[in-house]
Structure 1
Amino acid sequence: MFCLKCGTELAEEALFCPKCGVKIEPLEGKNFYDQSCELFRQEKYDEVISSLVGYCASKPQDIKSQILLAKAYLEKCDLIKEQGSQQYKTLVYKPFEIGKKIILLRDQYLSEGLYICGRSLLINRRANKASRYIKKAIKFSVAPSAEYFIALGDAQFAEGIVEDPTGFESNYYSSAKNTYKRVVDMEIENNEKGKAYYKLGVLHLYLNEKKDAKQAFESALKFAENDSLISRIRSKMESK
């Protein structure tokens, strides 16, 4: 058993964490991983990181938890980068290192390792290399998840900016639009669909396609379920 706040390993009978002092709540039928997944779905990435970092350090063989920790790092990096903070530049190496170790195993989690490294590279402004990793993740996955395609759309968008910052000539922008639209047509959770519409809206806004951006953001609001995503959508709608 581990503390969900700081990740310290606890005795089974512990009522309080000996390191941070937080009261230990019963898991109520959920195991440690399931509870961390629930925090992730609620976009409480700091809580996921603090609860998993100590556990993952002591249990490197638990690849599912390593993957979840890496994805929490990635989401946090994306958020702080979007807010204009430079802290992502040092933080992004943590998920990248986790991803590299997973790739080396060459097992059923290979696609996840490729995806994690690809997104890490994308956050670190290496769009072309990121795109190659993400495409490989999609290729090696039996059933690629929506997050893989959202990341591919992000990489294509970034490649377009590198090739043509004016937004008029690069085919990467069209590719990104098609990729995001592919996601919104998937049978996926509402919040994932909302995220894809949000990404599509951001792309339209960058290309000065204000009517299309407005429609995409309105669709995003219909599907978004988490406060963090809703806040980001509304912020973009106000900025245009």
Structure 2
Amino acid sequence: MYATYIIGQVSFTKIFEIFIPVMISLLICFLTIRSTNKQNKKSMKQQEQQYQETLVESEKRYQEQLLIAERKERLSYLPYLSILPGKEINKFAGKMEQSDNNVFLIPCKVINEGMGAAFSVHLKYIRKKEIPKEVTTLSVVAFNAKDKNEYDVLGVSSPIDKDILRVEDQTDFHLNLHAVDGDSRMVAPSMCIEWHFEIEFLDFLDRKYLQKYRLYTSTNFGEVQRINSDKPRLIEE
């Protein structure tokens, strides 16, 4: 029995000595595989994140390039309308014609200096409900309060008469300067006034633009001075 116990103990020891290294090897292998899987998952997650970021960046660049292309395409058709005095004194001033004591005619010409033809070109009139009741003129592009119930008025004597204004083409129109009192009677306009008015037009692809202008009138000298314009602004595609 003692011999059997010794043999059993020896066998168990041998088995234990064999089993422990195997278990340790398996444990190391398991931990290695687990660690490798974690690293692989982390790496795949990072790669997926980088891929998504790359997609987002690519889409952003594509949209930017698309926008640039659209702007270039739009600019290739963009009209630019300059206004000049109809009767130039010099490049900064033109003559006004006094038709009677209180009304001045302002001859003007508009020329297309842009890249494409302009269509449906017209001065933008102020809506009737926005005009003071003392002002009875219908074709009004601007007005300024002169005094209590008195207004300086920039009206239109003859409108822009071309539906199509091709590149380097030009056409004439006439504004008029007058003033009214509280009883809608004509009075002398202010001696020096800064005016702002607008022209609307379409390009070849029917996109609508608004272009703003500024000029000064001097009744003392009978002149219109310093006609300036802003860049056309796209208001409707």
Question: TM-score w.r.t. structure 2 length?
Answer: 0.18
RCO higher in structure (CA 8 A, sep ≥6)? 2
The structure richer in helix per residue is: 1
The structure richer in strand per residue is: 2
